């Protein structure tokens, strides 16, 4: 799927107390997750939203309009109120996001997630951009809560809360109902309305005249330069967002669930280090998934390789050539091998 950038309302939902419930009664936890999915999927579809993915017990969805996102969130909270133990927190933020491979990336996703974490049980927290878009919508009320400095967000964010009980669907619909008679546009034999035909004729005339001016050429050149710059910098930016929003949470999850984390966490951390080497969360995770050492050989220049104990048939991975200072090794789940050539044999395992 090609990469595309859009302005979207991002909604993040999360089940309160799900992790504790999973530890107490796994079957009940999975049943609650199924009920949550059965409530949210139809409502998201009803309000023209896109179900992006589930992240554990959380759901990430996007909407074309803020109004659709907010009303969907209200209906979700009201529906969950009728089910025992199904309590949600919801966060919504409006901003520019990048869609790629049926997933969504960007600071907007991060802010929506942080707002969700701040919301009260059964509540909906929104950002100022969402509040401004619904401020003139009759039947939807929101109130200012506080200004928060959110993790990995450079500027403070004003937080508002939707007053769920004040929502009146009938009153909301009335504000969008026109009392003037609706006049249907008359189409000609080609299927165009009068306004559409005027626009179509204008475009056709310009094409026939080959309406190309020096100003148009200049603008096309500028657009080409901007597009070329985008091709160079957008992939790097997207990898940075993926490292922060996907790889770091997955490393954290592996580290929390295992005393001896799998080498997958180490591989993800090495990849993330290429794009966010000074990220504070990554720096804190390193000691939990790897051990640090300084290695010297005589003579220098020996290449150091490693592989997972549980995957002896897998490929060897290089850590670099000696001397190596403060290099990270996977936590007690790897084999190491020194060689002067770049391709070690299995007989060299130590």
Q: Are the beta carbons of 39 and 108 closer than 8 angstroms?
A: no
Q: What is the pLDDT of residues 326-345, one digit of tens each?
A: 888 776 555 555 555 444 44
Residue 191: its pLDDT value, please? 43
User: What DSSP line would sit under 81-96, residue for residue?
Assistant: TTSTT--EEEEEEEEE
Sequence-distant (6+) residues with CB within 8 A of 290 are: 266, 269, 328, 329, 330, 331
Residue 102: its pLDDT value, please? 81
The mean pLDDT of 173-199, rounded to a whole number, is 44
Residue 177: its pLDDT value, please? 45
What backbone phi and psi angles, to 5 degrees, belong to 84? -60, 140
Separation between Cα atoms, residue 253 and residue 271, nearest integer Å: 17
Structural domains present in the chain: 4-175 (3.30.70.1230), 239-348 (no CATH)
DSSP annotation of 247 reads: I
pLDDT > 80? residue 208: no
DSSP annotation of 268 reads: H
Q: What is the pLDDT of residues 230-275, one digit of tens each?
A: 666 677 788 888 888 998 999 888 888 876 677 888 889 888 888 8
Separation between Cα atoms, residue 328 and residue 265, nearest integer Å: 12
Q: What is the mean pLDDT of the chain?
A: 80
Residue 34: its pLDDT value, please? 93
Residue 331: its pLDDT value, please? 67
The mean pLDDT of 26-43, rounded to a whole number, is 93
Structure tokens at 129: 């951009």
Separation between Cα atoms, residue 3 and residue 245, nearest integer Å: 17
- Which SS3 state, helix, strand or coil, does residue 343 take? coil
Residue 197: its pLDDT value, please? 47
Q: What is the pLDDT of residues 108-163, one digit of tens each?
A: 999 999 999 999 999 999 999 999 999 888 888 899 999 988 888 888 999 999 99
- Of 291, 278, 286, 295, which Cα lies nearest the Cα of 329? 291
pLDDT > 50? residue 44: yes
Angle at the Cα of 140 (from 137 to 143), degrees rounded to 5? 110
Residue 184: its pLDDT value, please? 42
Residue 90's pLDDT band (cuts 50, 70, 90):
very high
- pTM, two decimals, is 0.49
Separation between Cα atoms, residue 311 and residue 301, nearest integer Å: 27
Separation between Cα atoms, residue 299 and residue 230, nearest integer Å: 46
- Of 71, 49, 154, which Cα lies nearest the Cα of 107? 154
Separation between Cα atoms, residue 157 and residue 112, nearest integer Å: 11
The mean pLDDT of 202-231, rounded to a whole number, is 67
Residue 182: its pLDDT value, please? 37
Residue 172's pLDDT band (cuts 50, 70, 90):
low
- Burial zone of 13 (CB within 10 Å; 0-12 exposed, 13-18 middle, 19+ buried): buried
The mean pLDDT of 65-81, rounded to a whole number, is 93
Residue 147: its pLDDT value, please? 92
DSSP annotation of 293 reads: E
Please state whether beta strands 103-105 and 124-127 pair in parallel, antiparallel, or not at all (unpaired): unpaired
The mean pLDDT of 309-316, rounded to a whole number, is 74
What backbone phi and psi angles, to 5 degrees, belong to 29? -65, -45
pLDDT > 90? residue 63: yes
Residue 348: its pLDDT value, please? 38
Residue 99's pLDDT band (cuts 50, 70, 90):
confident
Residue 200: its pLDDT value, please? 46
pLDDT > 50? residue 53: yes
Residue 178's pLDDT band (cuts 50, 70, 90):
very low
Separation between Cα atoms, residue 39 and residue 87, nearest integer Å: 12
Q: Which residue has the higher pLDDT, 314 or 115?
A: 115
């Amino acid at each position: 799927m090609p990469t595309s950038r859009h302005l979207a309302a991002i909604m993040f939902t999360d089940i309160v107390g799900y992790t504790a419930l999973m530890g107490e009664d796994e079957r009940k936890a999975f049943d609650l997750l199924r009920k949550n999915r059965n409530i949210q999927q139809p409502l998201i579809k009803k309000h023209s939203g896109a179900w992006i993915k589930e992240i554990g017990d959380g759901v990430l969805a996007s909407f074309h309009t803020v109004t659709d996102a907010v009303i969907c969130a209200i209906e979700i909270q009201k529906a969950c109120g009728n089910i025992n133990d199904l309590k949600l927190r919801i966060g919504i933020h409006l901003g520019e996001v990048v869609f790629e491979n049926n997933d969504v990336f960007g600071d907007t996703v991060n802010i929506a997630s942080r707002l969700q974490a701040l919301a009260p049980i059964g509540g909906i927290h929104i950002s100022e951009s969402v509040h401004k878009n619904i401020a003139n919508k009759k039947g939807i009320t929101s109130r200012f809560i506080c200004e928060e400095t959110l993790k990995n967000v450079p500027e403070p964010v004003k937080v508002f809360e939707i007053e769920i009980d004040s929502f009146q669907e009938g009153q909301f619909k009335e504000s969008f109902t026109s009392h003037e008679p609706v006049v249907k546009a008359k189409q000609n034999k080609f299927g165009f309305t009068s306004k559409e035909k005027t626009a179509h004729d204008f475009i056709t005339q310009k094409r026939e005249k080959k309406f190309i001016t020096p100003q148009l050429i200049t603008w096309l050149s500028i657009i080409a330069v901007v597009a070329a710059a985008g091709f160079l910098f957008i992939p790097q930016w997207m990898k940075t967002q993926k490292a922060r929003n996907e790889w770091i949470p997955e490393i954290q999850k592996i580290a929390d669930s295992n005393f001896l984390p799998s080498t997958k966490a180490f591989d993800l951390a090495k990849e993330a280090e290429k794009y966010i080497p000074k990220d504070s969360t990554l720096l804190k995770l390193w000691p939990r998934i790897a051990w640090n050492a300084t290695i010297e050989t005589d003579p220098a220049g020996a290449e150091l390789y490693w592989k997972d104990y549980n995957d002896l048939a897998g490929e060897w991975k290089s850590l670099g050539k000696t001397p190596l200072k403060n290099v990270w090794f996977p936590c007690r789940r790897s084999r190491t091998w020194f060689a002067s050539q770049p391709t070690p044999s299995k007989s060299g395992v130590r």
